[in-house]
Amino acid sequence: MTTASPPPDRYAVVGFPVAHSWSPFIHGMFAQNTGQHITYRLMEVPPQRFVAEVSAFFRAGGRGLNVTVPHKQAAAQLAKFRTARAEIAGAVNTLSDESGELLGDNTDGAGLIADLQGNLQIKLADARILLLGAGGAARGVIGPLLGCAPEVLLIANRDSSRAAQLAHEFSSLGNVRSGSFETVGKEKDPQPYDLILNATSASLQNTVPPISSKCIGDSTICYDMAYGHGSTPFTRWALEKGAARAHTGWGMLLEQAAESFYLWRGIRPETKPVMAAILAAPKRSA
């Protein structure tokens, strides 16, 4: 008598819109490479249906969800328990079923740090870091960045009051300040930054935050959290202004996904083969 194999454990990414997401491809490769029996699909859910559909997914035996725009704060509210890093970020990008209760975590910051320090060998301790943006992505990475003990983390945003609010909220975790696009790099004796992180969605609109090029010196490294095939407007601008190197956000995307996979499956997948497959994939929008 043959015994039927158990059904695969079910995972998904929930967002609105979500059709562009690379998560099914990434988690599909992680599962294949680690021999995990899972399915991973897209769940397009508008904000007004978020709670009902996520609750139904877990009631029907779903094991975990990645959460993307615009649901990360709603997911933080829905989770019965939150990890410390999700609590600090005020946003959840990973939901798991823990013995019938929802646990919310945020792997964006860990993903960024793994990419910067592990893959790109960028030293964050004592670094002067400029973070552009004050939205969900910025909020998720400030705590982990301050945990690496930079000399200073300056947050600048189009709406500078949002940057000031974030700097205030995180002030107990390290030397964090705020500024505006108009003032940063225009001080009396401007010093270039060691690292400039673009956490705005300007690249998605084909523009660049209008900051002074004095922020960039010949050893400045620039990083755009946005990703697509090839360079972004920000990475092109950075190299034109003399940055030492400029990277896009693929590494962060893969590392935050690997961290979610590890939470769910207890196995840490290799990200390098998946990066190679993405770069070799036919061109499509990210």
Least spacing, CB of residue 151 vs ligand NDP, in Å: 23
The answer to whether residue 135 forms part of the interface with ligand NDP (CB under 6 A) is yes
Binding flags for ligand NDP, 35-74, as an x/- string (CB under 6 A): ----------------------------------x-----
Beta carbon nearer to ligand NDP, 108 or 194 = 108
Say how many residues touch ligand NDP, by CB under 6 A. Answer: 29
Binding flags for ligand NDP, 85-124, as an x/- string (CB under 6 A): -----------------------x--x-------------
Q: Does residue 243 sit in helix, strand or coil?
A: coil
DSSP for 105-144, please give it.
E--HHHHHHIIIIIIS----TT-EEEEE--SHHHHHHHHH
Spatial CA neighbour of 152 closest among 182, 192, 97 = 192
The answer to whether the beta carbons of residues 229 and 250 sit under 8 Å apart is no
Beta carbon nearer to ligand NDP, 58 or 237 = 237
The answer to whether the beta carbons of residues 92 and 104 sit under 8 Å apart is yes
Residues in contact with 216: Cβ distance below 8 Å, sequence separation at least 6, in sequence order: 192, 193, 196, 222, 238, 241, 242, 243
Residues 196-235 that bind ligand NDP (CB under 6 A): 199-205, 207, 209, 225-227
Least spacing, CB of residue 70 vs ligand NDP, in Å: 8
DSSP for 11-73, please give it.
EEEEESS-TT--HHHHHHHHHHHHT--EEEEEEE--GGGHHHHHHHHHHTT--EEEE-TT-HH
Which of 13, 137, 197, 246 touches ligand NDP (CB under 6 A)? Answer: 137
Which residue is nearest to ligand NDP, using beta carbons?
A: 135
Which of 62, 150, 249, 269 touches ligand NDP (CB under 6 A)? Answer: 249
The answer to whether the beta carbons of residues 37 and 8 sit under 8 Å apart is yes
Told to judge if 272 belongs to the known catalytic residues of this protein, a careful annotator would answer no
The DSSP element (H or E) to which 78 belongs, if any, is: helix 72-78
Per CB under 6 A, residues contacting ligand NDP are 69, 108, 111, 133-138, 157-159, 162, 199-205, 207, 209, 225-227, 249, 252-253, 256
* Residues that are catalytic: 72
